[in-house]
Amino acid sequence: MRIDIISVVPNLLNSPFQHSILQRAIEAQLVEVHIHNLRDYGLNKYNQIDDYQFGGGAGMVMMIEPIDQCITKLKSQREYDEIIYMTPDGKTLNQNISNQLSLKKNVIILCGHYKGVDQRVRDHFITQEISIGDYVLSGGELAAAVLCDSIIRLIPGVLGDETSALTDSHQDGLLAPPVYTRPADYKGWKVPEILTSGNTPKIESWREQQAEQRTKKLRPDLLK
């Protein structure tokens, strides 16, 4: 899979891809992530990428031309399955969207800033608009990092234990059951006995039961 991220603050996107699982996925060439500075496509001697909005009002709007130039250049090099715009008024990200996107070959992610992009970018280039929640961030970069993390960990081979993404919260519509590690008794706080019994079928059914109970209690909306 190849992900191209277009941003006006590309440095914000360095760290998320330089550590842990995402770093290993990139090193293992299971995913390529390319970050593009929109300023490189800016207009005039100021590399301008935003301008005042027509009709007046506070806040700058990202211009269509630099975005068009960047996207058109990328599209001349390969075909893209999706061109995603990160925006608080997009569809709220969920596990199903991440699962679907993890199957794609080439994806562009455009990070919004200021008042957002000229509507014509959304009308003519964007295939999906995604929000990571009902709150407003200073820009789309952190949201893009969240989206990429949730996608990349699903690519086969990225997680060491192939089954571990399948047992995540939300993957089967339920929250994950509680987990414990050593010591089995800490200051009298004991691990549920079943987990140290060695009885795998019983452990499995205990986990299923716990996942259901937890979901009922914490996220009843997921059971509807």
143 binds ligand ADE (CB under 6 A): yes
Q: Can you tell me the distance from the alpha carbon of 154 to that of 99, in angstroms, rounded to the nearest whole number?
A: 7
Contacts 24+ apart (CB under 8 A), 177-183: 177/206, 177/207, 177/208, 177/210, 177/211, 177/214, 178/210, 178/214
Q: At what angle do helices 141-152 and 20-27 cross, to 10 degrees?
A: 70
Of 142 and 203, the one with the shorter C-beta distance to ligand ADE is 142
87 binds ligand ADE (CB under 6 A): yes
Q: Which of 16, 42, 66, 140 binds ligand ADE (CB under 6 A)?
A: 140
132 binds ligand ADE (CB under 6 A): yes
CB of 5 to ligand ADE, least distance (A): 12
38 binds ligand ADE (CB under 6 A): no
Residue whose pair of structure tokens reads 């269509």 in the numeric block: 64
Of 98 and 131, the one with the shorter C-beta distance to ligand ADE is 131
CB of 50 to ligand ADE, least distance (A): 15
Token duo for residue 209: 């039961």
Of 71 and 111, the one with the shorter C-beta distance to ligand ADE is 111
Token duo for residue 16: 């998320």
Q: Can you tell me the distance from the alpha carbon of 104 to that of 92, in angstroms, rounded to the nearest whole number?
A: 19
Q: Can you tell me the distance from the alpha carbon of 99 to that of 94, in angstroms, rounded to the nearest whole number?
A: 9
Of 12 and 137, the one with the shorter C-beta distance to ligand ADE is 137
Q: Which of 86, 101, 110, 154 binds ligand ADE (CB under 6 A)?
A: 86
Question: Which residues make up the interface to ligand ADE (CB under 6 A)?
Answer: 86-88, 112, 131-133, 135-137, 140, 143
